[in-house]
């Protein structure tokens, strides 16, 4: 049993390390800012995820105690990673003139929130739909 | 009651997170957790005036499983793109996802999901909150990607938040 757990933990750590490495590698390799953002938001979630699962299995199988901190770490990563990516891309859109020219139209009467203030007529429609 | 506990679910959730952080379920920690669970929503209620309405709580579980599966798939997909393709040969593009959902909580959940799943990062919201700007890492058919986001995630969120 202990040997199975050890193999499982080792495999999970290796998988985790691989995906973390790929995520960091993507950050260095991809050619522009927006593409680079894809590396750290995705590959690292699975990487950290499997290392945390390994840590939980280690706590249960080897130390014989239940550890739930890993679940919290997962939760916080899931909450913070998208917000960080969102803020970075907003800052990028605001500062990069060339990227701004590439943006597709919103399909509504308003522009993108980073660049345009909402037109006041739209506000009541939004309030009433809630 | 609404004055003291503006977000009852948030109160329970903060208490639960506190117990997990302490890794100890004892009366002292439950009281401390509850105190935090009541104080934090009170102090932040100015920034979150409305209470989210959740119509189908069980659908959240299904949504979570779908997203978890997609995260695993997307990690492998992105890893393959990064390792075996030259960076500038990736057909990256911005797409606009028109939104049917209107509640801020639902839109936040959708934007977060898009960032965590296959080759897409949500970048901006239109000023009226009716469209989401999404960047695809490698897209042969942007329209199909938009349709997938709408049917796979938005439809489920619409069921959850009503």
What mean pLDDT comes out for the span A76-104? 83
Is B114 within a domain?
A: yes
| Residues of chain A positioned with their CB less than 8 A from the CB of B122 | 82, 85-86, 89
Do B35 and B70 belong together in one domain? no
Mutant choice from B124, B134, B136 vs A, greatest count of A C-beta within 10 A: B124
- Check residue A120 and give its pLDDT: 57
- Check residue A10 and give its pLDDT: 92
Say yes or no to pLDDT of B161 above 50: yes
Do B142 and B70 belong together in one domain? yes
Q: For B43-67, what is each residue's pLDDT tens digit?
A: 887 777 777 777 777 888 888 898 8
Decide if A34 and B135 are in contact by the 8 Å CB cutoff: yes
Please tell me the total count of domains within chain B: 2
Decide if B135 and A19 are in contact by the 8 Å CB cutoff: no
Q: How far apart are alpha carbons B34 and B27 in whole angstroms?
A: 11
Delimit the domains of chain A by residue range. 3-96
Is B84 within a domain?
A: yes
- Please say whether the beta carbons of B3 and B51 come within 8 A: no
Q: Which residue has the higher pLDDT, A45 or B63?
A: B63
Q: For B125-137, what is each residue's pLDDT tens digit?
A: 888 878 888 888 8
Domain that holds residue B96: 57-161
Distance from CA of B21 to the nearest CA of A (A): 6
Do B22 and B75 belong together in one domain? no
Task: Output b/e per residue, B99-133; b: 16+ Cβ within 10 A.
Answer: bebbbbbbbbbbbbbbbbbbbbbbbbbbbbbbbbb
**CATH code for the domain of B118:** 3.30.70
Do B77 and B139 belong together in one domain? yes
Q: Which residue has the higher pLDDT, B90 or B63?
A: B63
Mutant choice from B49, B121, B143, B145 vs A, greatest count of A C-beta within 10 A: B121
- Check residue A14 and give its pLDDT: 94
- Check residue A44 and give its pLDDT: 76
Distance from CA of A4 to the nearest CA of B (A): 23
- Check residue B154 and give its pLDDT: 86
- The DSSP secondary structure of chain B, one letter per residue, reads -TTT-S-HHHHHHHHHHHHHHHT---HHHHHHHHHHHHHHHHHHGGG--SPPP-S-HHHHHHHHHHHHHHHHHHHHHHHHHHHHS-GGGS--EEEEEE-----HHHHHHHHHHHHHSTTEEEEEEBTTSSEEEEEESS-S-HHHHHHHHIIIIIHHHHHHH-
Select from A34, A68, A108 the Cβ nearest to the Cβ of B131: A108
Distance from CA of A76 to the nearest CA of B (A): 11
Nearest-by-CA chain A residue for B136: A35
Q: What tokens does B86 get?
A: 């030259």
Size of interface A-B (CB pairs under 8 A): 156
- Check residue B156 and give its pLDDT: 86
Do B109 and B38 belong together in one domain? no
Do B99 and B74 belong together in one domain? yes
Q: For A21-30, what is each residue's pLDDT tens digit?
A: 888 888 888 8
Task: Output b/e per residue, A106-127; b: 16+ Cβ within 10 A.
Answer: bebebbbbbeeebeeebeeeee
Distance from CA of B92 to the nearest CA of A (A): 7
| Residues of chain A positioned with their CB less than 8 A from the CB of B90 | 30, 35
What mean pLDDT comes out for the span B1-14? 78
pTM for the model stands at: 0.80
Say yes or no to pLDDT of A99 above 70: yes
Is B124 within a domain?
A: yes
Nearest-by-CA chain B residue for A36: B137
């Amino acid at each position: 049993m202990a040997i199975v757990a050890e193999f499982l933990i080792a495999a999970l750590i290796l998988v985790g390390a691989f995906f973390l490495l790929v995520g960091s590698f993507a950050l260095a390799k991809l050619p522009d800012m927006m593409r680079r953002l894809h590396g750290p938001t995705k590959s690292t979630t699975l990487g950290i995820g499997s290392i945390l699962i390994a840590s939980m299995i280690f706590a249960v199988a080897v130390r014989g105690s239940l550890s739930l901190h890993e679940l919290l770490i997962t939760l916080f990563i899931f909450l913070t990673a998208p917000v960080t990516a969102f803020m970075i891309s907003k800052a990028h859109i605001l500062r990069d003139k060339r990227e701004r020219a590439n943006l597709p139209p919103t399909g509504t009467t308003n522009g993108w929130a980073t660049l345009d203030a909402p037109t006041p007529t739209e506000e009541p429609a939004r309030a009433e739909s809630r | 009651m609404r004055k003291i506990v503006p977000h009852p679910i948030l109160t329970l959730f903060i208490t639960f997170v506190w117990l997990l952080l302490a890794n100890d379920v004892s009366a002292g920690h439950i009281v401390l957790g509850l105190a935090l669970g009541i104080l934090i929503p009170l102090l932040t209620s100015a920034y979150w005036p409305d209470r989210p309405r959740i119509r189908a709580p069980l659908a959240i579980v299904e949504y979570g499983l779908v997203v978890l599966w997609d995260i695993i798939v997307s990690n492998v997909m992105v890893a393959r793109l990064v390792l075996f393709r030259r960076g500038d040969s990736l057909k990256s593009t911005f797409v606009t996802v028109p939104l049917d959902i209107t509640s801020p909580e639902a839109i936040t959940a959708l934007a977060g999901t898009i960032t965590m799943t296959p080759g897409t990062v949500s970048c901006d919201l239109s000023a009226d909150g009716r469209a989401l700007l999404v960047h695809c890492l490698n897209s042969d058919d942007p329209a199909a990607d938009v349709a997938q986001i709408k049917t796979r995630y938005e439809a489920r969120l619409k069921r959850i938040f009503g």
